Structure 1
Amino acid sequence: MECHVSIPKITATLLGAGNPLPATAKPLLIVGAGLGTGVRALWGAAVPYLEGFEVVGVDLPGHGASPAATEAFSVAELASGVRDIAAQLCDGADRKVYYAGVSLAGGVALQLALDQGTGHEGVFSAVAAICSSAQFGEPQGWLDRAETVRVQGTPTQVVGSAQRWFAPGFMEAYPDRAAALLHSLQDADRFSYAFACRALADFDVRDRLGAIEAPLLAIAGELDPICPPAVAETIGSGVRNGRSAVVPGAAHQAPLEAPEETAALLRGFFA
């Protein structure tokens, strides 16, 4: 029986070109945003600290700049979409390419690393999984959330996400940043969000971490209730060329909560 593959349409957005060198002379850093978040709102504060890279953001289907999904997709298929974007941006040029994703997009980072050596050798020089995991909770919880959002919409998730996403005091200290991210959740396409929940329900690469050979950095927010530092430590120690790091004072959206510290970790690892 033929296996159906559905590579979702995702849109790339130039977030920053670093120093004045031509973009093709710089290493390319593709950054991804997680479920319910837009890449520009999540990564915008970190981009000024990612000097030396051409920084391109990719939104999940139905989030930010990406069109809504019309059928279900998997994390592996999201990774294929990111690889396609990398190939288009490089257009045959010999340049280093890196990827850093948050939460679900961090699962994409793990998938990209697993795919290296299976017909995709050398596409990414290194990847980073931020506030992420090799498996996200119980599948039924994601299936239940998918149905809730499919029927009632993404605004049902705003209050709970605000409680889980940010460290105590962040919303009061940076109301504009927090509001922009929560607005991207409210504006996300409900059907695409539901498809992403189903992708999370099916995602589990815990027993495959040892097969990853690509350099991988797992970053955790110190106060993340969803993917705590122990999860990043497990990923970092389970990957042959893996490392882990913790961003002090951050919860589940490290590039937004601690942009300078998160960018410094990425620059140091990718260098």
Structure 2
Amino acid sequence: MGGELSLTRLAGSESSDRLIVVGPSLGTSVAMLWRECAQSLGGSEVIGWDLPGHGAGCPTTEPFTVQDIADEVEKRTAVLAGTRPVAYAGVSFGGAVGFELASRRDSPFGAVVCIGAARRIGVPETWHERAALVRRLGTPVVVEGSARRWFAPGFVRRRPQVAGALLKALADTDRESYARACEALAEFEAGDAVTPTAVLVGEHDVVVPAAGADRVLEGCGHLPPAEEPVAVARVVVEEMRCLTTTG
């Protein structure tokens, strides 16, 4: 993977009592996906990371894996956390990174929350087909399909500015970086978790089935932190508190 991940502080400060690191979905900017939700995450410092060529992330032509992204997240978090407790929450691709982090015995994270994610997301053939399509025609070609997959019924009509900003970020994503991320998901299958982990899935998610989730998020599709930010923040804080206590 070329270069370091781009990090953005979404809430809190270095003096906050705990650190929460949040990760994005494929095709999204972490700031647009998480900023509103981050403001409700219990006074924590919230740091988000962007995939290469997404949001504030620098484009890349090099291949990378979910494990490569997890390596960078782990390395950067170890520096930022200091002696504070630290937790992780990620959506879709960011959730796959969460599963990878949760499988590592020396991870700095005391709790992991994977949202709209599974140990394997989709099938390799579909990801390779999408990568090839985006390389040919660019990311705007997947905007219409993503609008159907990402949001619960009626969300685009209720909150057109939020949906529009997320879809514009998708259209602005670097095509090669997006294709490389698709190929990373095609290869990924998570190992067994050794860190306390919760899996949250929206009731209307058509990408990841609710079966096997620890909690179903009402009124949400595939991007719960943007769709129901306050409710998701409440669930994430609750899950992190329980996980840290029981872990």
Query: Do the two structures share a fold, i.e. TM-score over 0.5?
Result: yes
Which aligned segments of 4 or more residues in structure 1 are displaced greater than 3 angstroms?
none
Q: Tell me, yes or no, if structure 1 residue 59 matches structure 2 residue 50.
A: yes
Aligned length in residues: 241
* Partner of residue 270 from structure 1, selected from 237, 240, 245: 240
Q: Tell me, yes or no, if structure 1 residue 111 matches structure 2 residue 100.
A: yes
Map of 2:87 onto structure 1: 98
CA–CA distance in structure 1, aligned partners of residues 182 and 121 of structure 2? 10
* Partner of residue 187 from structure 2, selected from 193, 196, 202: 202
Deviation at 1:85, TM superposition (A): 1.6
- Secondary structure in structure 1 of the residue aligned to 2:87: strand
Letter in 1 for 2:91: V
Deviation per residue, 1:96-136 (Å, 9 max, x gap): 11110000110000000112x1xx24x10111100011111
Q: CA RMSD in A?
A: 1.3
Deviation per residue, 1:22-41 (Å, 9 max, x gap): 62342100101010000111
Deviation at 1:87, TM superposition (A): 2.0
Is contact 2:86-2:110 (8 Å) kept?
yes
Once structures 1 and 2 are overlaid, which stretch shifts more, 95-104 or 24-33? Answer: 24-33
Letter in 1 for 2:154: G
Deviation per residue, 1:65-90 (Å, 9 max, x gap): 11112300010111001112202313
Q: Tell me, yes or no, if structure 1 residue 89 matches structure 2 residue 70.
A: no
TM-score, normalised by the number of residues in structure 2: 0.94
Deviation at 1:9, TM superposition (A): 2.6
CA–CA distance in structure 1, aligned partners of residues 239 and 203 of structure 2? 19
Is contact 1:27-1:96 (8 Å) kept?
yes
CA–CA distance in structure 2, aligned partners of residues 159 and 265 of structure 1? 30
Is contact 2:89-2:113 (8 Å) kept?
yes
Is contact 2:16-2:45 (8 Å) kept?
no
- Secondary structure in structure 2 of the residue aligned to 1:176: helix
Return closer, same or farther for 1:105/1:131 CA change in 2, 3 Å cut-off. same
TM-score, normalised by the number of residues in structure 1: 0.86
CA–CA distance in structure 1, aligned partners of residues 212 and 145 of structure 2? 21
Deviation at 1:52, TM superposition (A): 2.1
Calculate percent identity across the aligned residue pairs.
41
Residues 1-271 of structure 1 mapped to structure 2, 5 A cutoff: 6=1, 9-17=4-12, 23-90=14-81, 93-115=82-104, 117=105, 120-121=106-107, 123-205=108-190, 208-209=191-192, 212-232=193-213, 244-271=214-241
CA–CA distance in structure 2, aligned partners of residues 247 and 8 of structure 1? 35
Return closer, same or farther for 1:250/1:62 CA change in 2, 3 Å cut-off. same
CA–CA distance in structure 2, aligned partners of residues 9 and 187 of structure 1? 20
Deviation at 1:48, TM superposition (A): 2.0
CA–CA distance in structure 1, aligned partners of residues 109 and 123 of structure 2? 30
Deviation at 1:63, TM superposition (A): 0.4
CA–CA distance in structure 1, aligned partners of residues 131 and 34 of structure 2? 25
CA–CA distance in structure 2, aligned partners of residues 139 and 250 of structure 1? 26
Is contact 1:24-1:95 (8 Å) kept?
no
Letter in 2 for 1:38: S
Where structure 2 has 5 or more consecutive residues not aligned to the other structure, the ranges are 242-247
Map of 1:237 onto structure 2: none
Letter in 2 for 1:248: E
Is contact 1:73-1:196 (8 Å) kept?
yes
Deviation at 1:142, TM superposition (A): 0.6
CA–CA distance in structure 2, aligned partners of residues 183 and 85 of structure 1? 28
Deviation at 1:7, TM superposition (A): 6.8
Is contact 1:12-1:56 (8 Å) kept?
yes
CA–CA distance in structure 1, aligned partners of residues 3 and 217 of structure 2? 31
